Structures are given as C-alpha cells and as structure tokens.
Amino acid sequence: MAGLTQKDEVLTRYAEKLSTLKAPKGRSLTDDAIRRMLANKAAMVSLFVLAAIVLFAFVGPYFVPWGYSEVDWASIRKPPDFEAGHFFGTDHNGRDLLARTMFGTQMSLIVALVATTVSVVIGIAYGAIAGYFGGRVDAVMMRIVDMLYALPYILFVIILVVIFGRNPILLFVGIGAIEWLTMARIVRGQTLTLKEKEFVEAARAGGAKPWTIIFRHIVPNLTGPVVIYATLTIPEIIIVESFLSYLGLGIQEPQTSLGTLISTGAPVAEVTPWMLIYPGIILVSLLFCLTYVGDGLRDALDPKDR
C-alpha cells in the first residue's frame, strides 16, 4: 500500500541522491565491439589503408600539378614521366592519369557511400516494418520486394536514364534503389528473430506502442548485421557502378570513376599498361580492404561472444 508515491519529499530525496550519484558509464556492446575490432590486426591495417586511399582521393588532387581533365598536348599516351609531372603516365587524350585516378576514386567512393546510405535507410525502415507487423502487411511488402528483385536492373537503370537523362545523381539513386532490396530482406529476417525475444515482449508488457518498439528496441539491435552487410556490399556497388559506367549509363566524360578507367585501360593494356595497372591497384586494394574490414566487423559484432 505504501508504494512509490508516498510524499514528494521522499522522491525529492532520491532526486538529490541521483544528482550526487557517481554512476560510472557501463561497457556497452558497442564498446566491446570496438575493442575487439582494435585487436584485429588485419582489420586495423585495412582501415589504415582505406584511410590512406580516401586521403589519396580527396586531398591528393591539391598536390598534383595537373587537373583531371587538363590535356597535355605534349604527352599523349606517355608512360610515367616524373619530370613532366605525370607520375602515373597519361591516357590517350593526354590527361594525367594520376589526377584522373584520384578523381575516379573520389567518384567511386561517393557513389558507394550514397548508394549504401540510401539502401540502408530504406532497407531498415522497410524491413523492420514488414518484419514487425508480420501477417498480411509483411506478405504484401515482401512480395513487392520479390517482384522488384525479378526486374533486370539494367533495364530499370536504362529506363531511368531515358526519363531523366544522364545524371550521376541518378546513378547513386539507381544503385541504392537496387541494393535496398537485399538489405530489407536481411533486416526483415533479423526483425523476425528479434520480435520473439523476451525483451521485446517486455516492452509490449510495458505498454509500448509498435512504433516505439520498432525504433527503440528493434532497430538498435539490428546494427550488427546491417553494418556488416553494408560494408561487404560496397565492393559490389563499386563494381556495379563500373559496369553501368562502362555501358555508358553512368559517369560520363570528362568525369571518370575507377571502373571507367579500368574499362578504358583494359583493351589497351598491352600497349599502355600503366592505364590499367594504376587504377587496377587502387580498385583491388580498396576491395581487399573493405572485405577485411567487413570480416573484422563481423567478428567484432558477432554476439556469440559469451
């Protein structure tokens, strides 16, 4: 009968106690994951290399004498020539390959980032809603996903290009619009599992509304699989972008991306190998590092620790 609402005086005492309380911050799951990640040498080295590549792409251009679309009429299809300032050589139009590689890497990274963000945001929202509400809502939502999956994405992108014209933004949105499907499926699967967990039931017993449960309880516990999947699909996105650009659907001259550079360089590799090698090295390093980082994240976030 005493209960908690005896007198406000009691509560004031506790409020005071609270303000003088020295309550140390606990060790969250994220802290644990970061600790494990830091201990993973392969992943840390990869992160370091990734950071180096990002610097290369975004800060590098300020240190290079040539711009990415500047033509040097004196050096067309020339191998690396340090005196002329062409450290990676020039391409068939006389443009500096180093600058172009840096720019291309920028584009590839931006595409990857934007597309991933789009797919994560849409995928989480869509998947969590479908998974949590279940029943008919889930069935309808997932059938839509199935149908979209069945669409050949090239066709879809071509249609977009026809409607909106050639636009790099379109590329981002287009790829993101494809990638969210798998993210939604993964999130839905995870949600189905999480939905059955006792702490979700406890939230319901505490009177929480479905939207509160989804965003306060389910989504924060999705970060593991989402982060891992996102990291591991970035390589895929870069390759898709390269393919689309190669088909002429994405990034167009004079802009470039890693994929475009490689697709231009590959046919002439015997004659002008530097046009393939340098962008190739960057792309392969990027993909390797992302894979290792993804692996490292998976190990770090794997909840089967205890």
Partner 1 sequence: MNQTPANLLEIRDLKKTFSIATGLFSRQLTLTALADINFNVRQGETLGIVGESGCGKSTLGRCILQLISPDEGQVLWLGQDLTRVPAEEMRKRRADLQIIFQDPLASLNPRMTVGEIIEDPLRTLRPEMNKTERRARVVRIMESVGLLPEMINRYPHEFSGGQAQRIGIARALITEPKLIVCDEPVSALDVSIQAQILNLLAELKDEFGLTLIFISHNLSVVRHVSDRILVLYLGRIVELATGDEIYEDPKHPYTTALLTAVPIPDPKLARQRNIDALKGEIPSPINPPSGCTFRTRCRHAQPQCAETRPPLETLENGRLVACIRWREIEAEKAALAEA
Binding site for partner 1 (CB under 8 A): 1-5, 10-12, 14-15, 17-18, 21-30, 197-199, 201-209, 212, 217, 220-221, 303, 306
Please, are residues 88 and 276 in contact by the beta-carbon 8 Å criterion? no
| Nearest-approach distance from CB 20 to partner 1, in angstroms | 10
The residue among 69 and 223 lying less far from partner 1, judged by its C-beta, is 223
CA pair distance 145, 211, nearest whole angstrom: 22
| Nearest-approach distance from CB 214 to partner 1, in angstroms | 13
| Nearest-approach distance from CB 300 to partner 1, in angstroms | 15
Prior bond to 303 cis, omega within 30? no
CA pair distance 113, 110, nearest whole angstrom: 5
The residue among 183 and 203 lying less far from partner 1, judged by its C-beta, is 203
The residue among 5 and 165 lying less far from partner 1, judged by its C-beta, is 5
The residue among 100 and 195 lying less far from partner 1, judged by its C-beta, is 195
Phi, psi of 95 (to 5 degrees): -90, 150
Angle between helix axes 274-301 and 258-265 (nearest 10 degrees) is 140
| Nearest-approach distance from CB 11 to partner 1, in angstroms | 5
Buried b (16+ CB within 10 A) or exposed e, 96-105: bbbbbbbbbb
The residue among 178 and 222 lying less far from partner 1, judged by its C-beta, is 222
| Nearest-approach distance from CB 34 to partner 1, in angstroms | 14
| Nearest-approach distance from CB 303 to partner 1, in angstroms | 8
| Nearest-approach distance from CB 134 to partner 1, in angstroms | 14
The residue among 10 and 42 lying less far from partner 1, judged by its C-beta, is 10
Length of the chain: 306
CA pair distance 275, 101, nearest whole angstrom: 9
Number of helices and strands in the chain (H, E):
12, 0
The residue among 115 and 203 lying less far from partner 1, judged by its C-beta, is 203
**Smallest Cα–Cα separation from 88: which of 108, 58, 61?**
61
Exposed, middle or buried, 36 (CB in 10 Å: 0-12/13-18/19+)?
middle
Helices (H), 152-205: 153-164, 168-195, 198-205
| Nearest-approach distance from CB 172 to partner 1, in angstroms | 30
Q: Which two tokens stand for residue 100?
A: 């172009």
* Count of CA atoms in the C-beta half-sphere (13 A) of 22: 0
The residue among 27 and 147 lying less far from partner 1, judged by its C-beta, is 27
